[in-house]
Structures are given as structure tokens and as C-alpha cells.
Structure 1
Amino acid sequence: NNDEVDVGDENIIDEETSDQAELQRTPRSSGDDEDMIVIQEDAPGPSDSNRSVLFYGADHAAFHLPTNLEIREGVDYQCPVQDWTTEDDYYDDTERETCVWRPTDLLEVADINDYLSIALSCFNIEQDRAMFILQSSDYNIEEAKHQLAKRRIKKEPWNEEDTAIFKQALQTYGKHFNKIKQLDP
């Protein structure tokens, strides 16, 4: 029983075999291995109606692996590549630095030194931070002193009563400093 199946301009012969599966190779053109069509038949039996056919044609060239390891050229074998970017393209040109002090002619050096000594002695604020506050205040010393008072770091020594309250609270609450802070007057 020979059944001819017409696939485009190619003919594939499908023959029934007995007891074992068979592979047939039918050349499509001049006899190259790459131009073969493979048909696999299952052995006849209970699932005789379920024949599997493997077909590799020109339509599936992307999935067809070459046997002679040819170099693949052309539009079909190109992958998308992004445009080249230089290292300079990755960096943003905006400045990330913040000017903390710019000298000015609006104030005398003696006035600036007095302001810095007040910032350190009264408010315990370091020179660089105090200079930034002065610049942020448009070099207005009175405004800068007002800003220093807002940023004041308390470093007043504890008296005996505060020390006793802290010790008692520490024994009562342990290291729960939020509860201890609530007891501080």
C-alpha cells in the first residue's frame, strides 16, 4: 500500500511497515543531507491511527541545524543589537555637590569668627555646619543665630535629681528608653 502525499512541489512516500518503526529519507532536490524530509512512522498496533510525522522543510529553516557547520549570513540570522553607548552617556551632567560655604564681602572676617565661636560655645555646632547655616541665611548673622538655636544640641550637665530619676527609671523599665524619656521633666 503506497500513499503519495503532495507537499508543494515535493512528493513524500508513506509506506506501512510491519512490527517496527522505520525512518525514510526522501530527497527534496539534488541530494544534500540538509534538504532531506524525515518521516517517522509508528509500528502498527492498537494506536495505528496515531502516526507521528516529523517534517523539516524550508519553512522551518531557523530550527534546522546545518550538518556541514556553514556560516549563516543574511537577514534571517541577525540578532537585534542596541546602539553603542559610550561611558560618557551613562553619567549625568548635573552637579551633585552642595556648596556649604562661599566666601563673601558682605561680612568682615572678625564678625564671622565671632559668629563661629558663639556657634561652638553656646550651641555646640561645629564650624562647617555653622558656616552652612550662615550661607543659608544669606549671610545675615542674626538670622543665622536664630537658626543655630533651632538646631541646638543640649549638653547641659545633669543635676543630682535628674541623675536619681534616671537611675530609678533604668531599674524600673530597663532599656526601654522611650518610657524613661517620658519621666524626664
Structure 2
Amino acid sequence: MLKLRVTDLKQYIYCPRVIYFTYVCPVEKKLTRKMVYGSEAHLELDRLEKRRTFKRYDFKEGERKFHTSLYSPRLGLEGRLDMHIVAGREIFPVEFKHSAHSPSLNHKYQLVAYAMLLEDAYNKPVRYGFICNTSGMMVPLEITPNSRVFVKEMLEKIRLLVSKEWMPKKTSHKMKCVDCEFRNFCGDVR
């Protein structure tokens, strides 16, 4: 089984061609301004989070764990989670995003994948997680059985794309291409 990264899942949902240019036809990625700014914003969110109370999560207390590397042989999936909280007997994944908007679909399923990795690591269910963005918005997200099934289906689709070496169709959302590090390689995107 091809070992995948949680970011592969996020990228596949955003645009499957990112997976194609990562695994099937690897090319040198161009670091975009958006990627650099996102990394800097991540560091700032980390710094601020260490000073905050648990009130915004509706907990009285807990323990924050930053940048945990996770791997599940069962899922063939690995990733480095921004943060997770252990509060009582429960575990909550937390992802920081450089955005002023509500989380997008690919970010939501990225969080679900991290919840699944935490479940394997701690051997207990994860019911909720949180996505925090740079504008201070904190969005709780329920980790449902259907969302877990969707993640597994997407992982299989990624593995099939790689094994068959298929070039996916271009995205129907042209704005996604504007800041894409692979834009110059698609050929059919203007």
C-alpha cells in the first residue's frame, strides 16, 4: 500500500492534479507567495495559541501538544498535526489555517484524517476537532462516520490515480490555479 500524507488528501480534494505532479510526474515545485505567507502565519498562530486559555474550546483545562507526527499502518497515512488537545478522556485535533474565511472542504477533511490518525495513536474515538484561522475564527467540526468513510474513499482514489498514472481533469474552479505551484505544468490552464 502506497503510504500517503494527510496533505496529499487535502491537495487531492483541492485539485487532483497536485497529486499527479507529486507522485506520477514529479516536477520541481515553485514556492508561491501564498505558501510563504501561510508558513509565517502558522508560526504566529502557534505563538499565540501557547498563551491562550481553553475557554474558546469550551474546556476548563487540558493539555496542548504541538506538531505531533502521526502514522497509521492501517490507513497507510502519515502527517504532522498542528496541535491536539487532551482534555479529560477526550482528544481533539486542531488545525491552524491562513485564512479569513470559513474552512474549505479540503481543510475539513484534512482535520478528519488527523482525527483518524489520533484515534489509531490513542486507541480511542475522536468526536470533534477544531479549525482556527488567522482572523481568530475557531470552527468546531464533528468527526462523523460518513466523514471517515469519505477520507478512506479519497485515499483509495489517490492510490488508484498514482498506480494507473492518470492525469486528472483540470479543476472547474479557475481561481485555484492562480497561486498554484504547478500551474506552469498543466498546459490546459490559462
Q: Which structure shows the higher helix fraction?
A: 2
TM (norm. structure 2) is: 0.18
Higher relative contact order, chain-length normalized (CA < 8 Å, sep 6+): 2
Compute the TM-score of the two structures, normalised by the length of structure 1.
0.18
Query: Which structure is larger by alpha-carbon Rg, 1 or 2?
Result: 1
